[in-house]
Amino acid sequence: MSIDLVPIRRAIISVSDKTGLIDLAQALAARGVHILSTGGSAKAIADAGIDVTEVSDHTGFPEMMDGRVKTLHPKIHGGILARRDYPTHTGAMDAHDIPGIDLVVVNLYPFEATVAKGADFETCIENIDIGGPSLIRGAAKNHDFVAVITDPADYAELTAQLATHDGQTDLSFRRRLAAKAYARTGAYDAAISRWFAGQLGQEYPQRLTFGGELRQTLRYGENPHQTAAFYTTGDQRPGIATATQLQGKELSYNNLNDTDAAFELVSEFDRPAIAIIKHANPCGVAEGDNLLDAYTRALACDPVSAFGGIIAMNRTLDAATAEQIAKLFAEVVIAPDADDAAKAFLATKKNLRVLLTGSMPNPAEAGLFVKSVSGGYLVQTRDNGRIAQADLKVVTRRAPTDAELADLLFAFRVGKHVKSNAIVYAKGGATVGIGAGQMSRVDSSRIAAWKSADAAKAAGLEEAGTKGSVVASDAFFPFADGLLAAADAGVTAVIQPGGSMRDAEVIAAADERGLAMVFTGMRHFRH
């Protein structure tokens, strides 16, 4: 049996986040609700001149064990869990002097924030809430009769319910609160279990749990017939989840996906850098002496594809660069910051989304990447592998020059962020041709060269940018044909992981063409 309207006569309040606490307590007190509370919450309510009963006075048991035991008592949980329509329950309440509790207002010890601050093991353990989740889960289970609030954002709706229903809440409201309550305790436990597994060095524990908080319900997914939403995990890695949107339309599913790809790519570089992304693949990436230099050269790689793209940078956006960006139709600009003049230039593009993150992500930082498949999840560590000059093995008769080495390392870093099969041509710290997502590596080599030739023709240049460039491949060349296609495009040096059963054949082809080639020993497939 369910009862629609239930009066609130007694409430228990125990909150870590005291946002809106006094206003809520005053609203409850004005309706004659008897308030029970604990510790800091009770003190704040009392200091505001509102009548409140300490839980220890209600139960007849003092708080003990440094506050670990305070609400874990039959007089609390009995009052929450008792069904008011079961005579055996109400009889037990009468026999043991257990008053009903009709409202539970609890938010939990800040475990996630404590971990994010880098607290030590014991401090994190002490910030695992025990009584709070028990109160929340009990109230949510008995939502036929008890309302449970876990988020200060719901205080206003609660007071509106009380005003509408003369001090009562309706069942629909209580059910929505109950669902939200279980989601909160589930996410809380997920955070604890993930942290504990990390403390024990368990990269893949027997049960892997995830929690997320709804940031935004999106207009649709990749396509209009798909629904979508954006959830955040609480991870403070700088990027789309931490960014502030200064202007522009609401971000779409594809905007978010592409912007994340762009910002992660541009974080790879130490010098000022720009990445222009379209459909999660780069169409131009460049380093420069400054952002304007980097932007000009990144755009030159493929100005046609750059139309409607995402522009990411790893420095504070300045006015000169913003003025040039404003000339291009772009969907999103993301940067760690922007100066006032740059903001003013971009403000003229009303529909352009501008995101500021405050800082850059660390490309070497560990993390997990999760992809859903039918019936489960594929989970792997983030591709945080990075290749330095010392990691390279020269396998051809000719070693690369210093200039070639710099471009090879640049191209390989870009290739890490290009969908496989990936081929990246680069010269002077800028991409000059990119081939992505083809079923054969030789096709990626040819497509990148074709696009480079088209870009050169459109710019009125005499030869394609691939002439005198270097080429990076995200995985080994299974045959010499892909390398030969790059050689035909004019490359002088090659970087690839190596490891093919035909490496000797590929090396011989490179030597025959006078190319320098280095092996990295690290592959960067990206699907």
* Tokens at 414, concatenated: 């870009």
498 neighbors 474 (Cβ within 8 angstroms): no
Residue 148's beta-bridge partner residues? 104
Beta pairing class for 53-54 and 6-7: unpaired
Find the radius of gyration of the CA atoms of the chain. 30
Question: What one-character DSSP code corresponds to residue 242?
Answer: T
85 neighbors 91 (Cβ within 8 angstroms): no
> Of the listed 141, 165, 249, 343, which one is catalytic?
141
Which amino acid makes up residue 296? T
* Tokens at 77, concatenated: 């949980």
Is the peptide bond prior to 421 cis by the omega test (within 30 degrees of 0)? yes
With residue 196 as reference, give the H or E element that holds it: helix 171-199
> Of the listed 165, 180, 249, 279, which one is catalytic?
279
Is position 141 annotated as part of the catalytic site? Answer: yes
Alpha carbon distance 470, 426 (integer Å): 5
518 neighbors 394 (Cβ within 8 angstroms): yes
User: DSSP letter string over 255-302?
Assistant: HHHHHHHHHHHHTT-SS-EEEEEETTEEEEEEE-SSHHHHHHHHHHH-
User: DSSP letter string over 133-148?
Assistant: HHHHHHHHHTTTT-EE
Residue 472's beta-bridge partner residues? 424, 495
Give 375's contacts (C-beta < 8 A, 6+ positions apart). Answer: none
347 neighbors 247 (Cβ within 8 angstroms): yes
Q: What residues are labeled active site?
A: 141, 279
